[in-house]
A = this chain, B = another copy of it.
Amino acid sequence: VTKLPIFEGIEDYLKEDNAPFSMPGHKSGRGFMSTEQGKKLYKSLINGDITEVEGLDNLHKPEGIIKNALQLLSKAYGSYKSYFLVNGSTSGNLAMIFSAFNEGDKVIVERNCHRSIFNGIIMRKLAPIYIKNKISRRFNAPLSIDMEHFLQLIHNNLDAKGIIITYPNYYGVCVNIREIIKIAKEKNMFILVDSAHGAHFGFNDNLPESAIRLGADMVVMSAHKTLPSLTQTAYLHVSNNVNINRVDFYVSSFSTTSPSYMLLASMDYARYYMESKGAEDFQYCIEMGRKYIEKINLLEGFRVLSKKDLLDENPEDIYDFDESRYIINMKDGYSGHKLIAYLRKNGVQAELSDESNVVLILSPFNNETDFIKLYNALRDCPMMELISKSIPIKINKFPYVSLMPYEVADKVSVKVKLNESIGKICAVNIVPYPPGIPILISGEVIDKEAIAMIQYYLYNDVTVLGIENDSLLIVQEGILK
């Protein structure tokens, strides 16, 4: 019988010795080993897990070493003020939402925004208006938002207090953030950016631009996703267009009063690394990526999407692409899920799979050995093992909104069978994974199209969050006239 399930699980995983093409950005410690300072930090990290004693400052009222580190961070990213987040981008998203908006405010947000943003919308009691996603039929993935729909939403909702946008998304695909920021300013709306996957942006000319430098009001970045920083670390950057007292209060409220100095030191290190070596090392990373795209794309059955592929695919909606991400696209009839499992069995840890694609996060700390391992695995892949019925991604029209998500949170819910749920108000979010775009959001009225869409995914063995044994939760009094 196991005594320490979590550590034993980690140990088993480490024995696999996979080439790390997933988070965190330090890639099993390699990111710390790449500089002299990082090596010292790595050695002392656990001994240095101390508390806020005299001389070590206070994250919630920085006046010493943490203040100095925050000033360096702010300067490196060109913000008005920056914050260290020891509770991840999650806490940054909550703090952005709570400090920019008040109860009842209308906000424009992607339908597949991150869960922390949706939770923030519930807890802050906001009225969300959703931007449509756009599905790439060719690559069978939700690669972008529908920019035309976005512009129309703005036009129809000039009373909205702000826009919350993801830049880039999990695939490394970038919306036209310049244009969106311009529109937000014109319409006097706050522009908040979930840039969890974009902490490295702006440090190399081949990477997309940084949203905070382009004038966004508030930008959250995960430090651990793409930089050499420990998991659950993040930065919040704000412009001088926001109420700093409110941001201070909410950042503090959503962060532990006993922050880990291991996490703080690693965030400081990641900033230092990017300033001193980011441009050069990401150049190496991107060039290595391009080199192996060419090699891999000569293999039968796989296509790593290039920046050009993506921009050609969808020029109105896709503005830029992060070349430190690989999207390995499979031909019709082959499964991304099967590929990610195959890669893992062959010593390559990828980040994400959907029906037709596998996403990898490349980093300066991925050496050529990692790429060779990936290449060889793909080259030697028995394609027959990856054969699968193709399930084309479909999305439904947004259902009628009867209640706001926060209103549902206070109501009693009851379980009903899917086929008896028509006309009822949904009490949970119903989300097929992939593509991760909600079919129904709590408070929306369950219609025929939504039920058909749920049945389509269930029939094709796609996990649909919110559905258990063909049943879902509805609002008890929620029968629509």
Q: Which residue of B has the minimal Cβ distance to A86?
A: B232
CB proximity to B under 8 Å, residues A218-232: 222, 224-225, 230-232
Q: Determine the chain B residues whose CB is within 8 A of the CB of A481 once the complex forms.
A: none
Q: Determine the chain B residues whose CB is within 8 A of the CB of A51 once the complex forms.
A: 22-24, 231
Q: CA–CA, A272 to B4, complex, Å?
A: 7
Decide if the interface of chain A is mainly helix, strand, loop or mixed: helix
Q: Determine the chain B residues whose CB is within 8 A of the CB of A256 once the complex forms.
A: 87-91, 232, 234
Q: Determine the chain B residues whose CB is within 8 A of the CB of A69 once the complex forms.
A: 4-6
Interface string of A42-55 (1 = CB under 8 A from B): 10111111110111
Q: CA–CA, A464 to B228, complex, Å?
A: 39
CB of A56 closer than 8 Å to a CB of B: yes
Q: CA–CA, A262 to B263, complex, Å?
A: 11
B10 in contact with A56 (CB, 8 Å): yes
The distance from the CB of A348 to the nearest CB of chain B, in whole angstroms, is 11
CB of A240 closer than 8 Å to a CB of B: no
Q: Determine the chain B residues whose CB is within 8 A of the CB of A41 once the complex forms.
A: 4, 7
The distance from the CB of A229 to the nearest CB of chain B, in whole angstroms, is 10
CB of A119 closer than 8 Å to a CB of B: yes
CB of A206 closer than 8 Å to a CB of B: no
The distance from the CB of A261 to the nearest CB of chain B, in whole angstroms, is 6
The distance from the CB of A36 to the nearest CB of chain B, in whole angstroms, is 11
CB of A204 closer than 8 Å to a CB of B: no
Q: CA–CA, A26 to B262, complex, Å?
A: 14
Q: Given that A5-B65, A7-B37, A269-B4 are contacting pairs, would A257 and B13 also be in contact in the complex, using a CB cutoff of 8 Å? A: no
Chain A residues proximal to chain B, CB less than 8 Å: 2-14, 22-24, 26, 28-29, 32, 37, 40-42, 44-51, 53-57, 64-66, 68-69, 72, 86-91, 94, 98, 102, 114-116, 119, 123, 222, 224-225, 230-232, 234, 249, 252-265, 268-269, 272, 276, 341, 344, 349, 409-410
- Interface contacts beyond A224-B258, A231-B262: sample of 14 additional A-B pairs, CB < 8 Å, sorted by A: A5-B66, A6-B265, A10-B48, A11-B44, A13-B53, A22-B51, A46-B46, A50-B231, A91-B256, A231-B260, A232-B256, A234-B256, A249-B409, A260-B263
